[in-house]
Amino acid sequence: MFHKVHLQLTFLCLGITALILGIMSVSYLYISEKNLKETYFSSFQSDMNTLLSNLEHRTVISHRWLSQMEGNGKYIIDIQDNGVHFLWGTQNGNPSENRNAVIESGWKFYESRFQTESPSDAFSIYHQEFAFASAGAGTPDYYGCAAFSLRETGLLSILVLEPLAPLNRQIRSQRVTFAALIFICCIVLGIFSWYFTGRLLAPIEQSRQSQSRFIAAASHELRTPLSVILSAASACKKANSSEQDKFFDIIQEEGESMSRLISDLLMLAGADSRTALIRKEDCEADTLLLNFYEAFEPLARERGYLLTIFLPDKKIAPVRCDSDRIRQVLSILIHNAFSYTPPGSRIRLSLAETAENLLLQWSRHSG
């Protein structure tokens, strides 16, 4: 049961923290990618200003200059002189069909979104930057710049395209990195959640074990006086009328003892106490041991044991103790003697007094 609860709490903690981590990561990626695209587009606009400024002051446009401006495939440049394409693009290593398709898609996107404005002054340039998808739909994969320059010979139309493959690769790499980090974090969080919930459930498990031990101890405590009562009741049936009073007294005394035990157990359970309740009063130890002997002797005889008692000759002064607790301890000891001593053995109870202590002892002898 606790293993199942432990597992459920682990998944709950892991799920909540992973959800929070995922939301934060997605939010960060969204902001980061947005800033990255804005920065990339701003850089493209700056490059276009530089390129078009260079073009603005040129009277002759050569293949060599165009090759330098394309930057080894960084840009795709298309120039039209009064609507006639400048023959360029077959020497730079790009497939001309794909190049022409991308250029055509760029012009169509510009014409569908923006209104062409011709510059009023000679050699002045009007330009517009934009992002578009070469396939016509989906995520933009090109930045484009459409520019128009008025020359003496007519209108010069320029389209500069920059592939967004490097930007998209950077975004994908960032996403993969974050996904790997989230995966590693989830593993670490899972281990931590398992350990944390285990520590959280440890007191509950200890409490459950304490309850089990409490029930076992209560059963043990109640079994002994109950056994004495049953033994005395059985012996009472066989005894004559003069001996029955003694067994009735034993039954009454053990019943009262059981009643006190039940009261103590209920009090302990209600107060969740970790210490036993002690009621100290003056008690005659020899009388206590003798009464205990008389209560358990029929039970010992019934189980095949010879229970004897040894008391000192001189009278022992009363001692302050809890007689009920002493009886409980003696009951546990005598019950263990019955459980672990072979039948037919002799069990001896004795009382001795030293200078500072009073000793209650029991010993067992086989045969």
For the record, the structure tokens of 367 come out as: 């045969």
Q: With 70 as the cut, is the pLDDT of residue 192 above it? A: yes
Residues 6 or more apart whose CB falls under 8 angstroms from that of 2 comprise 201, 204, 205, 208
CB-count exposure of residue 78 (10 Å: 0-12, 13-18, 19+) = buried
Question: Among residues of the chain, what percentage have pLDDT more than 70?
Answer: 89
Q: What is the mean pLDDT of the chain?
A: 81
Three-state DSSP at 160 gives strand
Give the separation between CA 163 and CA 170, rounded to whole angstroms: 13
What per-residue string of b and e applies to 104-132 under the rule 16 or more CB within 10 Å gives b?
Answer: ebbbebbeeeeeeeebeeeeebebbbbbb
DSSP state of 34: H
Give Cα 219 distance to the centre of its chain: 38
Q: pLDDT, tens digit, for every residue of 232-279? A: 888 888 777 777 778 888 888 778 777 777 766 666 665 554 555 677
Give the separation between CA 235 and CA 238, rounded to whole angstroms: 5
Task: Name the most confidently modeled range: 9-23, 123-137, 349-363.
Answer: 9-23
Q: With 90 as the cut, is the pLDDT of residue 42 above it? A: yes
Per-residue pLDDT, 91: 44
For the record, the structure tokens of 76 come out as: 């795709």
Degrees to nearest 5, angle at CA 243 with 241 and 247: 110
Give the separation between CA 134 and CA 143, rounded to whole angstroms: 10
Q: Are 201 and 9 in contact (CB under 8 A)?
A: yes
Higher pLDDT, 27 or 331: 27
Higher pLDDT, 304 or 154: 304
Per-residue pLDDT, 176: 94
Q: Are 346 and 364 in contact (CB under 8 A)?
A: yes
Degrees to nearest 5, angle at CA 101 with 96 and 105: 145
Q: With 80 as the cut, is the pLDDT of residue 194 above it? A: yes
Q: With 80 as the cut, is the pLDDT of residue 95 above it? A: no
Per-residue pLDDT, 62: 74
Q: With 70 as the cut, is the pLDDT of residue 119 above it? A: no
Q: With 50 as the cut, is the pLDDT of residue 93 above it? A: no
Q: Are 330 and 283 in contact (CB under 8 A)?
A: no
Phi, psi of 55 (to 5 degrees): -70, -35
Model-level pTM?
Answer: 0.54
In this prediction, residues 351-360 reach a mean pLDDT of: 80
- Dihedral sign from CA coordinates of 29, 35, 38, 44: negative
